[in-house]
Structure 1
């Protein structure tokens, strides 16, 4: 494991309060990392070792942990190399500003401030709480809009009524994002996150990091688990998915807005990452949202949520 954690770009989005997604194994973001957002992390399959700040422990299914802003963390499953797991965990991420706003608006959520103030050490709940949280978080994966916020408050209520969680990292452990970001590639990842639609060139970012192009390419792959081009494409495609879901822009306009300069290449990359065309992705998502609201409880078309790049 790298001494310094990598920066994860969560990108909750300007038109959303939180992001929830799931992933299996293998997955390139399973690494030592940090981010400014608060994270609620639920293990749904496998067991292994957990790392939160200076804590090292064991996890099993229904392991539920809240990780505070900028706290380095990782979960490493005990599975043979090459093992394929469809879903290893469900991840809920939101900003401190959103959490503070909830507490300010609803005095009944005062306990949430106390809980999150302690999350700088990482907080682990009992397996029983994790098991109770699992169906709520799974429903959140298939919901959107006000329904997702309603389920978020159901989850918060469950945590507030549960057995008090155990802190993981030592009392003296203090996250140090400024130190983490002094690492050359973390600075590069921050630049990509801030300017994903710009004309970003690997050679320019190599110079920014102080590496030669060949050294930069190897170091970037070690840190992110993928190449610079694939990483940048994934960042742009995540943004495209947000626009397809939330805006009525033409697909061609979205293509250029997120940084692709060729519509055919955009369609090809989108299909490669999502298994369908941009138009089909938009149609299915809207169909899912419409059917989910039907009073007869008709089956919904399930889509995998957009996954952020770590």
Structure 2
């Protein structure tokens, strides 16, 4: 467990949290609780993506953030969630610096209860079907800022009983408040309650996000969730705009792209680590999605 960092645009980090080590290609510590929080200050961040989720709350400054090609305004009280492998960048207004809480975490630490499906099916819509952000007003903004402060305080005390559960609960509270804010508006609550909670899609989607590097097929996932593969295929198309295989390939290729940029692993190793069974298939799908071969992509991102 590392201490809290406050990172400035002109400052040098003297240490790095777990996820910074991961994206810089350093060895992962599998025994580390995969959560980090700090206060970051910056004038801009370049377009990038990473295999972990990132939750932020703006404290000071104004500017713009672009997630998956959609731009939104950042100002104090704005909360943003970037899901794994979503492309994002940000820039402050002229002569300003954005200062914000920044949480980085393995999205899987959120789940574990049968009640989670009440809201995590909405979580995976962020950045594709619903906005990635919400601008909280005074009272709710103060509440959310308080939760982030509690997360910071909890983060540096791993010896406390129930430490991991406390972080999970506080993180979940922020995310639920974010989803409620995003879903405000005419008909949103009725639409929320009208959803069929027995629908297998969202648990299946979560399973795919966790196990995309394993040997998966539409039929095997459908069987796992006791549903018909044709029905599950239709649900994938309706909820993501992609077929099951297209969605699976997107997860695998984005993960592969991250490894190509940030590690020295061979193309062969990356092929099998991301779930592809042959280098030929991996290279073909990679070129279709990224416009370059894996080796050309790596050379373009030195």
Could you say which TM-score interval applies, normalised by the shorter chain? 0.3 to 0.5
Normalized against structure 2, the TM-score is what?
0.48
Which structure is richer in relative contact order (CA contacts within 8 A, separation 6 or more)? 1
